[in-house]
Amino acid sequence: MLYDVIIIGGGPAGLTAGIYTSRSKLKTLILDQGMPGGQLILTHEIANYPGAESLSGYMLASKMLQQAKSFGCEVKSNAKIKDLHLQGSIKKISLENGDVFESKSIIIATGGISREIGASNEKELKGRGVSYCATCDGDFFQDKNIIAVGGGNSALEEAVSLTKYASSVTIVHMLDNFQAFDYAVKEAKENPKINFVMESRITKFIGNERLEAVEIEHIPTGEKREQKIDGVFVFIGYVPNTKFLEGKVALNERGEIKVTRDLETNIEGVFAAGDSIEKKYRQVTIATGEGTIAALSAAEFVHRN
Amino acid sequence: MTNLSHVMSADDHKKVIEQNENVMICCGRMGPMCIPVYGAMEELESEYQNIKFYDMEFDTPDARVIRNAPECNGFMGLPFVVYYKNGKIVHASSSILSKDQIKSVLDKHFQ
């Protein structure tokens, strides 16, 4: 099946691109490795999306998906990519289930995936004391002592929100300063339930049925100590979901896709948008804007060729 | 509200697991860690016709039948996902799951 545009990734960038290209009567397919929505689905509340005062990430993603489909955009979820041929005038994408799709242009919008600490026993204790979502799991930690890992806005804001439940929240951060905005740092520092362990990282999660303790390393000295703890919330950001693109398109040292101002990659007819590209700020509004640019660039490319 | 069938009460739960050989129940909220699991289950319904897929609202008092199950001891993350064969729990997990992770459990216990 030959498409005008295949969009890899169904987050806000990919769905916006799908809305634009399908509305332009370009035959469009969105392939998503899981459920369309991307990181939006993992966001409890969006309060800064213009025109929508406050709604859940799931609702916003559902509206975008519905809008794309209403213009004729095809969407295939749980599409695991096996191979990509991006060179030449016809691009080819093979899925693990044997499906093969061809397209005149490609938009890569694979977004980011939550970074894990990588300490031993982390996966085994996920949902048993190790969590990545304060709004989901915070109330399991009523009157408990917990750790929040990270130094960005998410870590500090979520640490403050977790004090609604926990009796104490210890922020563990690798650096000696925070990357978060001043207001978030101030709010955390003024909260009497919050204390700080700087220049440190968790090296081991300890427990069987449930998390019981962590091993914390003080990075400058290498000194390790064990601390009893009821829960650990991890907020250390995202990594670009571009592993499968290595050797296919140009990536920077962080694995982000290099793009031009029109969001074209180093491969003709292959564009990229959203959190997988090289940039400073990552916000849903930026992703939708980039989805628009990538769609317009792809449409121009298809019409020109 | 998901498109899955719903377990509304403890009585309902009893009937569902007694009257069906293979049952998967996702007990959660409409939150970020639960929605992807519901979505994967909705897609798996047609693929695994020998299994009944249900959701249950975590905050309803009757959800104690899942919350207090010994197999869920130590769970501190939503959703609680429980798999029943002939009325008995054969597997349970806490927190988000991918479609592939669910399939591996279904293939192991319900084939």
* DSSP calls for A69-128: HHTT-EEE-S--EEEEE-SSSSEEEEETTS-EEEEEEEEE---EEEPP---BTTTTTBTT
Could you tell me the pLDDT band of residue A56, with boundaries at 50, 70 and 90? confident
Cβ contact B7:B13 at 8 Å: yes
At residue A1, the pLDDT reads 83
Could you tell me the pLDDT band of residue A11, with boundaries at 50, 70 and 90? very high
Query: 3-class SS at B23?
Result: strand
User: pLDDT for B22-45, tens place per residue?
Assistant: 999 999 998 888 988 998 999 899
Closest C-alpha among A249, A270, A300 to residue A7: A270
Which of B3, B33, B101 to mutate against chain A (most A CBs within 10 Å)? B33
Rounded to a whole number of angstroms, the distance from the CA of B78 to the nearest CA of chain A is 6
pLDDT above 90: residue A115: no
At residue A55, the pLDDT reads 86
For residue B33, give the nearest of A128, A133, A141 by CB distance: A133
Q: What residues of B are in contact with residue A132 (Cβ under 8 Å)? A: 33
Please name the residue of chain A whose CA is at the shortest distance from the CA of residue B71: A209
Cβ contact A128:B94 at 8 Å: yes
pTM for this entry? 0.79
What residues of A are labeled active site? 133, 136-137
Rounded to a whole number of angstroms, the distance from the CA of B85 to the nearest CA of chain A is 23
Tokens of A4: 């005008």
At residue A46, the pLDDT reads 85
Q: How many CB atoms lie within 10 A of CB A60?
A: 22
Give A44-64 as a DSSP string.
Answer: S-B--BTTBSSB-HHHHHHHH
Q: What residues of A are in contact with residue B36 (Cβ under 8 Å)? A: 34-35, 41-42
Task: Give the span between the Cα atoms of A144 and A13, in whole angstroms.
Answer: 39
The residue whose two tokens read 């199950």 is B69
Q: What residues of A are in contact with residue B31 (Cβ under 8 Å)? A: 44, 133, 135-136
- Residue B31 to residue A41, Cβ atoms within 8 A: no
Share of chain A above pLDDT 90, in %: 83
Q: How many CB atoms lie within 10 A of CB A176?
A: 10
Q: Where are the beta strands (DSSP E) in A230-284?
A: 231-234, 238-240, 270-272
A 203-242 residues inside an 8 A Cβ radius of B: 209-211, 231
Give me the long-range contacts of A81-85 (CB less than 8 A, separation at least 24): A81/A8, A81/A31, A81/A33, A81/A244, A84/A244, A84/A245, A84/A248
User: pLDDT for A251-269, tens place per residue?
Assistant: 999 999 999 999 999 999 9
- Residue B78 to residue A137, Cβ atoms within 8 A: yes
Cβ contact B108:B83 at 8 Å: no
pLDDT above 80: residue A230: yes
- Residue B77 to residue A140, Cβ atoms within 8 A: yes
Q: Does A135 touch chain B (CB under 8 A)?
A: yes
Closest C-alpha among A29, A104, A103 to residue A71: A29
Please name the residue of chain A whose CA is at the shortest distance from the CA of residue B101: A34
Rounded to a whole number of angstroms, the distance from the CA of B71 to the nearest CA of chain A is 10
Could you tell me the pLDDT band of residue A7, with boundaries at 50, 70 and 90? very high
Q: How many CB atoms lie within 10 A of CB A114?
A: 15
Q: Does A129 touch chain B (CB under 8 A)?
A: yes
Rounded to a whole number of angstroms, the distance from the CA of B20 to the nearest CA of chain A is 28
At residue A282, the pLDDT reads 87
Q: What residues of A are in contact with residue B58 (Cβ under 8 Å)? A: none
Q: Please report the domains of chain B, with CATH numbers, ordered by start residue.
A: 5-106 (3.40.30.10)
Task: Check residue A139 and report its DSSP letter.
Answer: G
Tokens of B46: 């047609």
Could you tell me the pLDDT band of residue A295, with boundaries at 50, 70 and 90? very high
Q: How many CB atoms lie within 10 A of CB B102?
A: 22
Cβ contact A63:A19 at 8 Å: no
Q: How far is CA B37 from CA A98, A238, B26, B32, B54, in A?
A: 24, 21, 8, 10, 11
Q: How far is CA B72 from CA A181, B3, B4, B76, in A?
A: 39, 25, 22, 9
